[in-house]
Structure 1
Amino acid sequence: MWLTALLAAFGLWSDGEAQQQQPQPLPPNLGVATGQQIVPNQVQPGTLFTGTGTNPYYGDWPRQEDPAMIAPYLCKQQIPQTGNPALRAGVYYRLILRQSLFGRESGSNMNLGGAMYQSSFFGQPASIACPGTADSYVRCDQQSDYFLEEMMRWLMEGVAGASMFRADAAVVVTWFNTASAISGRSDIDAGQTGTYQVIWLTDSAARLSYAIINYDRLGFDAQDFRANSRSGRCRALFNGGNHTGYVDIDPTQPYKNTPKVLAQRSGVPHMVRGRYMFRVDDIVRPAGCSNKTGGTYPIMIYPNIVNMLGEMSVDVNALCLDHTQTYILMIEEREVATCQVLNSAIARCNLPKIYDWGVKTVYFQPQSRGANDEKAFVGYIYFVPPTLDPMRLDIGNIYEWYKNPMTNYLMPISWYPRNFTNPSYMMSLAQLGSRLSDDAIYAVQLGLYVVGYREYKDDEIKKFRPEHRTLALLATYSNRNSYDYRWRPQEEVINLNQVQQWYLNDWERMHTLYTYRVGYLKLAPLRPNDQNSTELLSGLVTAPISLHWLWTPNRQQFIQTTFTQQERDERTEFVRHKSREMCHDWYDEDGALFNFIRDTETNSSCPCVERQALLDLGRYMPHPRCSQLFRDITCTSMIGSKNCYMSAQNIYGSYAGDGNTFNNMDTQ
């Protein structure tokens, strides 16, 4: 959609802006600089977006679709064709493609004989491969690959979450020395012209795309003579399409006063002036940073779907940052997340535990000053259970972790290396002058930890208090930071018969370990000189799993990699016996509490296992909305459960004790 939008925007400028004072058909040699022949269509020159009627650019929405548009400087302009021969002017565009799109990539398509296969696409000139275009229109060679790599590096330095993006195609449109449409020669001779550029990038599947806008020089504010704005100032904006509205490239007050300020300011001030970045895949999301000082400004957060267990980090694009200031991310009705400045455009915030499922509003602002100003950078994060977290640590089939005995003691694990950075590098990023695109930042030693979970009733706070404790360090891995692993997942193996380090003593392993009835694995950078691992760094966690594979009879130390069949059978029987004891303990602690046995019911405690509910039909019946048989979309509280039951025993309706009218003991 955005490729069509960008080419449509180019067509708009060529048809409506490249003209003299009097409306006239476009000259056929307008694109002579690139050998392109532009054929005027039926739309009259100067036709702009009005928002009403049946404008062919805007559409008759909703009866017709509203096309998307990228307009870096929307106003009537002209392309000078005569005058100073040293003053070149025109509109230029290129299509940049990665060689791998056509099966031509270094070392990736060697046949059995060892000869390099070359597609016939590259054996012909571009004019034949793409009829109607000049040879310089399409680039698909080593230079195009280098260009795409450089654009990816730009995005990594200015856009939160762009480190995982792989650009496979780009459209580059450059407006060079355009002038105000109604102005005389005096403006052109005085050098009051504009030069700016749009770079639109997408991946091979065209699912994710970004736009980079560069302003080199803007010499006029409006289309009128001598920068008069009676006909309206120039606008720099996106039209999201489908009547979603437009998004200004810079919503600040200085831009509203004079659009020329776009060439003087920047959304990535640590890189260069006049550059702005946006994510434009489904909706227009501003990236980089902004100096907006009033109202609200949407911030971009990556990832914006986060595990409710927290202890992970998110990257934020909001206001332009200062390394000498401290910034915080306030979460609706929850703790505050501390943030670290990576560069002027990106901050990294470490989230606390949330224990809630839903969308939370977050506010990003400096802590030392500005907390009470009208400035508000607002965003949204969707907190989900670990099983629904798209960024969760992948450890294969979760159901395999609940089987006794384990079907395989070599379990898979995979993650994307670019999700981890070296803490020592990040702490001194500003002093060292390192860039986020530097591969050395992602070289870090990772530890795979076992975290146990339990909860107990706290009489002081009148509710259950959760407890997460690091039980053991299973293994360590080296995070691979080579070029290929920018997009490829790193795949390793977990040996469940070995534990690298226990954080429990012998007595705790024989008694306390079994109080953690469930847990999860966490992959996080190793903290140096931390013998207890009470505080783990931000990382990735798995879905909840059983910890029975850590239980061993006679305190086996997990120092051997293989076991005899007798030892396996002994361990399986030990786990079966211990799990039965734990089930009985759970019933004594939770199953008989008042929240399971209502005052109006008798002997209706929650079943310990599903088999008990199946055998006791009548007292336990399938839930009408959440069971396997009757489950529908309206069941929101039991999503992810295997089955749901409810007590079906009769209860008393209205009764009480003094025998008068409504309080009659005999009334039921």
Structure 2
Amino acid sequence: MAMFSFFAVILIVFISTSFAFGGLMFPHGEQEGDAIVEPNDDGSSGMVPISTLFPYFDHNHDSLFVNTNGAISFLIQVSSYTPTPFPLGGGRRVVAPFWGDVDARYGGNVTYRELIRVPQSDQLFSQADSVVRGTFVDQSRFSATWMFIATWNKVPFFGAIGHNALNITNTFQAVLVTNGRHSYAIFNYEEIKWTTGTASGGNNVGLQGTPAQVGFNAGDGFTFYAVPESRTNAIVDIDQDSNIGTRGRFLFRIDSSDIVDSGCNTAGTLAVFPVSGSMLGGDIVHISGPCLDESSTIVCRFADVEVPGQVVSNTTARCVSPLVFEVGRLPLKVSTNGGESFDFTGIFTYLSPEDVSPFVKRLDAAEWHQKDPLIVVWDTELFQEYVDYVRISVYGYGEDLATGAVKLQSVYSSSQMVPYNVGVFRFSRPEAPDGVQYTVGVVRVSQYGAKGQNELTLPGMWSDIHNLHWLYPVPDPSAWCDGWAEEARSDLDFLEVTEPCPCTLIQALVDTGRFSQHPLCSLDAPLGCELFKPGAVHCVRADSPSEKGGGQECCYGNDDKILNVLRSSGGGFAHRRHHGGVVPYKDAGRVPYLSHWISDTLPFEHCCVFSEESCQLYKFVRPSQTCEGYTAPAPAITTGDPHLITLDGVEYTFNGVGEYTMLEACNGSFVMQARMAVLQIGTPATVVTALAAVDTGTSDQIQVEVSNRRGMDVWYRQEGNGSDWTMLEFDDSQSRRVDLEGVAVFYREVNNSGVMTKNIHVNFKCGVSLVVSTTSGLLNVFTSLQQELKGRTRGLYGNWNGEKNDDFERPDGTILPVDATVQEIHSEFGQKWQIEPEDSLFRYPRGKGPFDYSDETFTPSFMSPEAALTGEAREICGNISQCAFDWAVTGNSDIARATGGAVAHYRAAIESASIVICGSVANPANGRKEVSRGSVGGVASFTCDDGYTLQGDNELVCQENGQWSGEVPICEASGLQAWQIVVIVVVCCLVLIAVAVIVILVRRARK
């Protein structure tokens, strides 16, 4: 019954999309407030300013023209009556619902109006929202804020003569809608009777000749989209056709660089939304691609798990994602014939539960072990279109290291049907169920299903992973911790191979290739540090598991130095199980986050939260790593008008126009290229506008480029198979990290002096990492390389070998002296690294190639950056000459400040990388290991156990080689120990008793 309800709601939504307002056309005409284009032939409305920026072909527009001949244009009026085939140049950026030779002088009219979403227009906007939501699977929550309706009502063709011909008219409409980020064009065709004016070769009934064109043109001479029947006689039947299943209606997404047709396909490709979800499952996943009808039987295969699906429309279907114990980009295959064949393939990204915001919240979660009643609340919008009633369940997670088995088992379920829209459930703490005692679990709010139905096949949302101490009480956490620690002591070999921590906070922030910020404690989330790691200001974790599956947590204090849990509660712990799991997943000890919870987080809570006196035990078996053996990566930067600092620290400026090799590494298998372009026509400034990189044979290709609309775009394609480029749209995903083949890309928002800026991190497994940011239409790039790549690099980032004199090595192996002039560096070094077209890694817009981005005749300013440090520049830049140069050449203070910040960050990284910290020292006198730390020149300090004192005058000093000089002081007994005192007291008591007995016997004898 519940599943039937799910189908019914979907069907109602679909039907409402087609029949809202009872007709195809959106309301139009003078009675609706439309403006009327004066009757004319080949004219237009003139330029119409619009109140919002409308995205079209990846450009924002603030005005448009409504052209009589069946088109809307954005840059210039379009008067042509015979539709020239797309693509067209000359700035003719056109939306053409029906570009043909309209003559409105003798009948019909052309009207238009702009609308902003307000209560009075909300119903009309809801109609547009329904059209978009019901078609584009990634826009299930699309809500337009702006709309433009242009209508050609009963318009005749040019050359129509006599009453009969003037009755041969067309009525059609273009509706443009946007939410500011995405924009769509809805074409409505009420009646199409003619295709051609007589001036275009048409006959006296408006047919033959050069028929009308329907589609979109970017105006650059290359980029366009036209419906297949454009400029053919068949276009007259467009009012009987559709690409969304509603006769007479077409829908297109038009904001990006390519027009997206919403229709189905036979190519076997899927569009999927959401593109990611929790590995615990329960997400409603929308799918489009195959052409569907009432006979289609949907089966979705997520990785190797098959689940039934439902048809929503002739272009869309839905499935509920199943539980899997793995993460990453997994194949999603769809069958339309009940599972006989899976002909359509896409990608669905499973995320760790840690990386998904819980839609179910446990109120006063820290007190659940002693509160009654317990309260959960949940998101009431996520499933509002699909679910009426829900059930609240608790699942316990267990794993068996001996067999490798893992399971998520329901251990409690509410009996009543709870209205979904209530959003809250109170229940008394139940008795602990008999049988297996689970220690870790999660709350699920699920669609209320039929009796016996597997709840995990229904839509559901999850709480945080947590300790089930409230359901399966641990009577004595201290005793529990003792038993756990005893077992954990036999499994400490993993400590020897965990990733060494960076020694300082700056090192941790720079080493983005190996460490990522901890979600519970970071500079971006200081309140989390106060609760989670008091005393710390930032924590990072190792991105990759160790050889034995361990993880690493490193935390830092206000003094920039790493913290040790033996001295600060804010110190980081070693993790027996890596928080991200270990490939291959799905086995005990390898499951993302859940294995870490059982092995590390759960014992921490029992030992250090519920039983503070046992916390030392936990610290002993999960100690802080003290950065012994850590080597910082080597940085290089490209910033501003481009200023470069090589991997060996040589600073220079190179203003190229073209595409260049920034870096070759790993014997040439890794290549990074930069595209440089003129910042503004007429100025001598050039900037980096795009980066492309790949580790050949190992990784996918990545491109990061400047976007006029979004700041930065990230594209990728599978390396080696010539596949199409795909944009990574982080704003439309729960995930801020995408793991591709051989490379991970993640997105961060960073608070820079109160201004949120976007950073893109790109980490290649070969040891190269990039942090890319944008300012005023240029890219700033911070590159870091792991030490094992030293001695194996070439390109504009230099020959990294520890020697600066050979950094200007050219492709032919010859070397330009490092003291060359700015002009010599430009022509005799920088330009030499311009790539050959066949070697390009870049993605190009349609019709363009490497030569379109090159200009060897460009002459930059050869001013020395130091010469730009004038008084005015010093106010902005201090003593950073690169900043002053950018201020002088571009006049843009934002660019100058960003350059200054990049150079300052680089210098801080170099300074921090030179810091050496001596590590642990064993004190053999009592077997206790003292972790004594100090930077170069620092002196070690020791403490001794009770009953011991520090003997000797020796002092340990930290040296530049990371070793301590001097002899280790010894803790020696400071006096009588406790057992010795006890023996003495006992002996004394016995002596006194003996003396007393003797005295008594002597007195009796005297009597």
What TM-score do you get using the length of structure 2 for normalisation?
Answer: 0.39
Structure 1 residue 327 corresponds to structure 2 residue 298: yes
Residue 546 of structure 1 corresponds to 467
Aligned to 2:319: 349
After superposition, the C-alpha distances for 1:99-156 in whole angstroms (9 at most, x for unaligned) are 35xxxxxxxxxxxxxxxxxxxxxxxxxxxxxxxxxxxxxxxx3xx2332334444455
Taking a change above 3 Å as real, the CA distance of residues 354 and 492 of structure 1, as seen in their structure-2 partners, is: same
Q: 1:196 Cα shift?
A: 1.7
CA gap of 1:635–1:4, structure 2 versus 1, over 3 A, is closer
Residues 449-528 of structure 1: pairs in structure 2 closer than 5 A:
449-457=393-401, 464-473=404-413, 478-480=418-420, 491-492=423-424, 498-499=429-430, 505-506=433-434, 508=435, 512-514=436-438, 517-528=439-450
Cα offset, 1:91, TM superposition: 1.9
Q: Greater shift after overlay, 575-584 or 238-247?
A: 238-247
Superposed counterparts of 1:397-436, under 5 Å: 413-419=377-383
Listed one character per residue, the Cα deviations across residues 384-436 of structure 1 (whole Å, up to 9, x for unaligned) are 2223336x424279xx85789789986663313451566xxxxxxxxxxxxxx
Q: Post-superposition shift, 1:542?
A: 3.3
Q: Distance in 2 between matches of 1:235 and 1:207?
A: 27
Identity of aligned residues (%): 16
Inter-partner Cα distance in structure 1 for 2:764 and 2:619: 23
**Contact kept in structure 1, 2:137 and 2:287, CA below 8 Å:** yes
2:225 maps to 1:237: no
2:409 and 2:196 map into 1 onto residues whose CA distance is 63
Matched, 1:214 2:214: no
2:146 matched to 1:169?
A: yes
Shift in Å, 1:264: 1.0
CA distance, structure 2, for counterparts of residue 229 and residue 343 of structure 1: 35
Aligned to 2:890: none
Match of 1:262 in 2: 238
Does structure 1 conserve the Cα–Cα contact (< 8 Å) formed by 2:56 and 2:255?
Answer: no
User: Gaps spanning 5+ residues in structure 1: where?
Assistant: 19-30, 32-37, 59-68, 83-87, 101-140, 423-441, 482-489, 554-570, 627-631, 638-647, 650-668
Structure 2 CA distance for aligned equivalents of residues 475 and 529 of structure 1? 11
Instruction: Kindly indicate whether residue 49 of structure 2 is the aligned counterpart of residue 79 of structure 1.
Output: no
CA distance in 2, matches of 1:381, 1:16: 44
CA RMSD in angstroms, aligned pairs only = 5.2
Conserved? CA contact 2:281–2:456, under 8 Å: no
C-alpha spacing 1:237/1:308, structure 2 compared with 1 (3 Å): farther
CA contact (8 A) 1:266 1:274 kept: yes
Per the alignment, do residues 605 and 157 of structure 1 end up closer, same or farther by CA in structure 2, a change over 3 Å counting? closer
Cα distance in structure 1, aligned partners of 2:482 and 2:307? 41
SS at match of 1:145: helix
The letter for the 2-side match of 1:546 is N
- Is 2:62 the partner of 1:95? no
| Match runs of 1:76-475 below 5 Å | 76-82=100-106, 88-100=107-119, 141=120, 144-155=121-132, 157-160=134-137, 164-179=141-156, 185=161, 189=165, 192-203=168-179, 206-221=180-195, 224-226=200-202, 234-238=212-216, 245-248=223-226, 258-269=234-245, 272-280=246-254, 289-290=263-264, 292-293=265-266, 295=267, 299-331=270-302, 334-367=304-337, 371=341, 377-389=344-356, 392-395=358-361, 413-419=377-383, 442=387, 444-457=388-401, 464-473=404-413
Shift in Å, 1:619:
10
Q: What is the Cα deviation at residue 256 of structure 1?
A: 7.7
1:535 to 1:166, Cα distance in 2 relative to 1, 3 A = closer
Asked if the contact 1:214/1:274 (under 8 Å) is kept, the reply is: yes
Q: Could you tell me how far 1:518 is from its partner in structure 2?
A: 3.0
Q: Which amino acid counterpart does residue 237 of structure 1 have in structure 2?
A: G
**2:328 and 2:351 in contact (8 A); partners too:** yes
Shift of 1:446: 0.9
Greater CA deviation, 536-545 or 615-624? 615-624
Distance change >3 Å, CA 552–CA 42, structure 1 → 2: closer
Give the residue type in structure 1 aligned to 2:352: P
1:529 aligns with 2:529: no
Whether the 8 Å CA contact 1:551–1:575 is kept in 2: the answer is no
Q: Deviations over 1:12-70 (max 9, x none)?
A: 5516669xxxxxxxxxxxx9xxxxxx9997876569786576x1335xxxxxxxxxx54
Asked if structure 2 preserves the Cα contact closer than 8 Å seen for 1:96 and 1:170, the reply is: yes
Whether the 8 Å CA contact 1:338–1:351 is kept in 2: the answer is: no
1:268 and 1:585 map into 2 onto residues whose CA distance is: 62
SS in 1 for 2:149: strand
Q: Which residue of 1 aligns with 2:532?
A: none
Work out the CA distance in 2 between the residues paired with 1:42 and 1:161.
Answer: 34
Deviations 1:446-498 (A, max 9, x none): 12222222233576xxxx333111122268674456xxxxxxxx653666x52
* Native 8 Å contact 2:56 2:183 kept in 1: no
**Aligned counterparts of 1:329 and 1:242: Cα–Cα separation in 2:** 41
Highest relative contact order (Cα 8 Å, sep 6+), 1 or 2? 1
Structure whose CA Rg is larger: 2
Deviation at 1:234, TM superposition (A): 3.8
Distance, in Å, in 2 between the alignment partners of 1:266 and 1:176 is: 20
SS of match in other structure, 2:152: strand
Instruction: Tell me the amino acid that sits aligned with residue 466 of structure 1.
Output: V
CA drift of 1:200 comes to: 2.8
Q: Which runs of 5+ in 2 are unaligned?
A: 1-51, 499-545, 549-573, 578-598, 601-617, 634-743, 745-760, 767-918, 921-1007
Question: How far apart are residue 162 of structure 1 and its match?
Answer: 5.2
For residues 579-599 of structure 1, the C-alpha deviation after alignment (integer angstroms, 9 at most, x for no partner) is 554565567689789999989
Kindly indicate whether the alpha-carbon contact (under 8 Å) linking 1:160 and 1:300 is maintained by their aligned counterparts in 2.
yes
- Pairs aligned (count): 473
> 2-side partners of 1:39 and 1:580: how far apart?
73
In structure 1, the residue matched to 2:91 is 56
Contact 2:223 2:258 in 1 (8 A): no
> Residue 326 of structure 1: CA displacement?
1.0
Give deviations 1:335-356, integer Å, cap 9, x for gaps. Answer: 3442112343432212233444
The structural deviation recorded for 1:201 is 3.1
2:252–2:259: 8 Å Cα contact kept in structure 1? Answer: yes
SS in 2 for 1:147: helix
Query: CA separation of 1:52/1:520 partners in 2, compared to 1, >3 Å: closer, same or farther?
Result: same
Give 3-state SS (helix, strand or coil) of 1:416's partner.
coil
Post-superposition shift, 1:288? 5.9
Please say if residues 184 and 225 of structure 1, whose CA atoms lie closer than 8 Å, have aligned partners that are also in contact.
no
CA gap of 1:305–1:184, structure 2 versus 1, over 3 A, is same
Change (3 A) 1:329 1:279: farther
Q: For the residues of structure 1 that align with 2:221 and 2:124, how far apart are their CA atoms?
A: 34
* Counterparts in 2 of 1:57 and 1:165: CA distance versus 1, 3 Å: same
The 3 A distance-change label for structure 1 pair 15 and 287 is closer
C-alpha separation in 1, matches of 2:437 and 2:259: 47
Contact 2:160 2:166 in 1 (8 A): no
What is the CA distance between 1:315 and its match in structure 2? 2.0
Could you tell which deviates more after superposition, 172-181 or 575-584?
A: 575-584
Q: By how many angstroms is 1:524 displaced?
A: 0.6
User: Structure 1 residue 550: deviation in Å?
Assistant: 2.1
- What CA distance in whole angstroms lies between the structure 2 residues aligned with 1:352 and 1:345? 23
